[in-house]
Structure 1
Amino acid sequence: MMGGKVKTNHEKGSVAPVSHKRKVRLLLWGGAYSSSDNFTFDWAVRNVTKDYREGDKNKYEIVSKGISSADELISIINSQDADSIRSLDLFTHGGPGNFYMVSVRSNTDGGLNRFRWYRYVFHNKSFSVRDLQKLKWDRFADNAKVEFHGCKTAENPSDEDNIAAGFSKRLYGAGKTKSAVIGHIINATPAINGEGKTESKAQDYRHGPRAIFKNGKLTSQTNQKGPLDEKELEK
């Protein structure tokens, strides 16, 4: 809830506080075994946040949270007000059917945990396509923009059988008819200015081949660097 002021009568300077709700931009990141990967997600979040602040002019509330499990992702989304999520940016490792997260970290856990297969057998906290049914889709705004910054969440986009397409179909089914979901078609990299040419503070996943879905259907593909035109995404 945010406080606002509106005039209540014609007396000069007469104002009264009125409560109103602002829509939110959610930026959720983390869940990687490698601490360096989580630091990279953090840098990428900062760059997306900067663009939102410059473009929104304080129109929306920006909420950035580190997450480490599917349960946290679900809880944060479901705890928002109805019709409040203007955008969701998710920074985790990904695949066509999952947002990959584990409960161990490389700075505290060693041994067999250094093997990927072991982590995802014994410490798996990932969000899968099956978990889509656990989300409260009424929390999203009608024109919600959802962007997944991890690898291959939109792999084989023409098949329309990946977690990005599935997410968009759920949104549309909940009446969010102007919503759009963006995912990477291949492996994502934060080296937006090229390998060996991108400083840590410039790391950003918003580049490379990405697919855009509405109602589970592929509408277009893009290689554009940086933020996409949200008004165009609503069409």
Structure 2
Amino acid sequence: MNADGSARTIGINDNSAFKFAALNVEKTYQKFGDSVILKKITTAQDIVNFISSLQTSSIASLDILCHGSPLTLNFSLKPYEACGFYASWLGKKAIESYYSDDDGSYSFTSQARSVSDINWSKFTDNARVQLHGCLTASDWFRAPNGKKIFPILVDNIVEQISDELQSAGKSKALVIGHTTRGNPLINGKNTTLLQQDYRHGERKIYSNGKLVLTTKQKGYLDESF
């Protein structure tokens, strides 16, 4: 429900799009003969706990479909209360300030987690992590000349995850995210419900904490880049 008492539909519609898009991601991996686990999650804590329950070096790919920002993956159960991931403590504070307004103070609950809380040893050396939320690979915090406005902050949560994987010894791992506001209309206005997919628009790929490619290729990004 919205603050004015009206029914809230945005979150419901978005969750429907995430569901159909997740099914299309699942179909891609099934074509490769991969074993796929498709889970609906509500908090970052849920993801951290599930990953921790798996065997070391067993995760070849992780796709998360949710809302995003340059420094966060945005999950929420209540307005202004985030229970998703943040890139770092400083990133969390920056986003809390950014999203707070006259209607409320934005904050992270005890179920939110830093991406550093993920046990990255559970991933394979050449793992692929893809964030299907808006702006997760954008660089909001750079001046037009490319200089960092806040030198102690990473550019984005995709870069931070790439750093975490490198620190865990996953030297061939790739992390992919959107530079713009993603949407599920992969075929434009003619996209059907079943075709919804966020794998289009400009995306960046990071490896070992470094940008290796910016691309507008549609669909699954294979190894040909």
User: 1:94-109 counterparts in 2 under 5 A?
Assistant: 94-104=68-78
Higher-strand-fraction structure: 1
CA distance in 2, matches of 1:87, 1:101: 20
- Report what 1:125 is aligned to: 83
CA deviations over 1:33-85 (Å, ceiling 9, x no partner)? 7111111101001111111111x23xx32000001111112112222210001
Find the residue that maps to 2:42 and give its secondary structure: coil
Greater C-alpha radius of gyration: 1
TM-score by length of 1: 0.73
- Report what 2:212 is aligned to: 219
1:184 to 178, 182, 204: 178
User: 1:7-18 counterparts in 2 under 5 A?
Assistant: none
1:167 equivalent to 2:141? Answer no
Which stretch has the larger CA shift, 128-137 or 183-192?
128-137
Find the residue that maps to 2:76 and give its secondary structure: coil
2:139 to 156, 168, 177: 156
How far off is 1:232 after superposition?
A: 4.4
Find the residue that maps to 2:38 and give its secondary structure: strand
CA deviations over 1:149-198 (Å, ceiling 9, x no partner)? 0000001297661000000111011110110000000100100001x211
CA distance in 2, matches of 1:87, 1:152: 20
Paired letter, 2:126: N
Identical-pair percentage: 39
- Report what 2:129 is aligned to: 146
Paired letter, 1:189: N
How far off is 1:126 after superposition?
A: 2.0
CA distance in 2, matches of 1:53, 1:171: 25
CA distance in 2, matches of 1:41, 1:76: 20
Would the aligned equivalents of 1:33 and 1:102 in 2 still touch at CA under 8 Å?
A: no
Unaligned runs of 5+ in 2: 1-8, 89-113, 141-145, 149-153
Paired letter, 2:24: N
CA distance in 1, matches of 2:84, 2:23: 23
Paired letter, 2:52: N
Unaligned runs of 5+ in 1: 1-31, 105-118
C-alpha RMSD over aligned residues: 1.8
CA distance in 1, matches of 2:52, 2:224: 27
How far off is 1:127 after superposition?
A: 1.1
- Report what 1:81 is aligned to: 55
The total of aligned residue pairs comes to: 181
Which stretch has the larger CA shift, 80-89 or 156-165?
156-165
TM-score by length of 2: 0.76
